[in-house]
Amino acid sequence: MTTQELLDQIRHKRSFLCVGLDVDLRKIPGHLLEEEDPIFAFNKAIIDATHHVAVAYKPNIAFYEAYGIKGWEALRKTIDYLNKNHPDIFTIADAKRGDIGNTSAMYARAFFEDLGFDSVTVAPYMGKDSVEPFLEFEDKHTILLALTSNQGAFDFQTKDSEGRELYKRVLETSREWKNSKNLMYVAGATKAEYLTDIRKIIPDSFLLVPGVGAQGGSLEDVCKYGMTKDIGLLVNSARGIIYASNGKDFASAAREEAEKLQAGMNAIMRQNI
Ligand SMILES: O=c1ccn([C@@H]2O[C@H](COP(=O)(O)O)[C@@H](O)[C@H]2O)c(=O)[nH]1
């Protein structure tokens, strides 16, 4: 998907909501466990209930790998379902990959070519030659971890590296890499006030912002500090939407939570754009 197509969808739906598909069989409604593929049955119901207000879906790959071959099958069915029924919706494989170049190239093939995701999250720690193989793919997006939402982000990411916080160095340096136009960045909603500084370095790049909902980040603060004239944000919530209820009404409860977030986004867009 091109960035322009993503922008068009945001304007059309008046939403920049990304729904996280982090399926935990211990948390989904009991009646779904009788289905042949409970993970896919859950995802399909969540997608059917939220696609009118979601511009992106983000399965975190850990939640599929944890179930072995059945998890991978459910992941493939989920991405195939999205690509077939909602080709206009942006898809994110939250896999946090990155390795020496030839290995990264295989990761990129796995998520972009084999599975058919629009984007994948990548860790910057191994540097340029570990990220550039992902950037070679036309109209595919590499979402680089910059400043993550967890407490451990302060262990390294905000520490000084030759006079600059490490996360700023990641942002600046990655802009120099080949095909850097295909980069987006992860910045946690729990650290919204940092977005002002982040925007000074990458004024126009899309940010994937996890941490609204279960982690307590504020949508208003994220927009106050991080929104651009083209929005430039994909705000993710997983648990706050998909586990809004663990009863038979789970899909309508998810719809309600997703619609609440979209209503907040619409109001902010109306005030600012
Ligand atoms: O900095 C980061 C990077 C990734 N994540 C992922 O986003 C979702 C958040 O889920 P919630 O249930 O809405 O908290 C999850 O997949 C994380 O692994 C993040 O939270 N922070």
Question: Is the C-beta atom of 148 inside 6 A of ligand 1?
Answer: yes
Bridge partner list, 212: 217
Q: Measured in angstroms, how far is the CA atom of residue 30 from the centroid of ligand 1?
A: 24
Question: Is the C-beta atom of 93 inside 6 A of ligand 1?
Answer: no
Q: What token pair was written down for 141?
A: 């997006």
Question: Is the C-beta atom of 257 inside 6 A of ligand 1?
Answer: no
CATH fit for domain 3-272, picks 3.30.460.10, 2.60.40.420, 3.40.47.10, 3.20.20.70? 3.20.20.70
Q: How far apart are the first and last CA of the chain?
A: 24
Instruction: Determine the Cα–Cα distance for residues 10 and 213; give it in Å rounded to an integer.
Output: 20
Nearest to 46 by CA among 236, 255, 210, 211: 255
Give, for ligand 1, the residue of 17, 149, 155 to mutate: max count of ligand atoms closer than 8 Å to Cβ.
149
Q: Which residues are catalytic?
A: 96
Each residue's pLDDT expressed in tens, for the chain with a length of 273 residues: 999 999 999 999 999 999 999 999 999 999 999 999 999 999 999 999 999 999 999 999 999 999 999 999 999 999 999 999 999 999 999 999 999 999 999 999 999 999 999 999 999 999 999 999 999 999 999 999 999 999 999 999 999 999 999 999 999 999 999 999 999 999 999 999 999 999 999 999 999 999 999 999 999 999 999 999 999 999 999 999 999 999 999 999 999 999 999 999 999 999 987
Q: What residues does each domain of the chain span?
A: 3-272
What was the ipTM of the complex prediction? 0.99
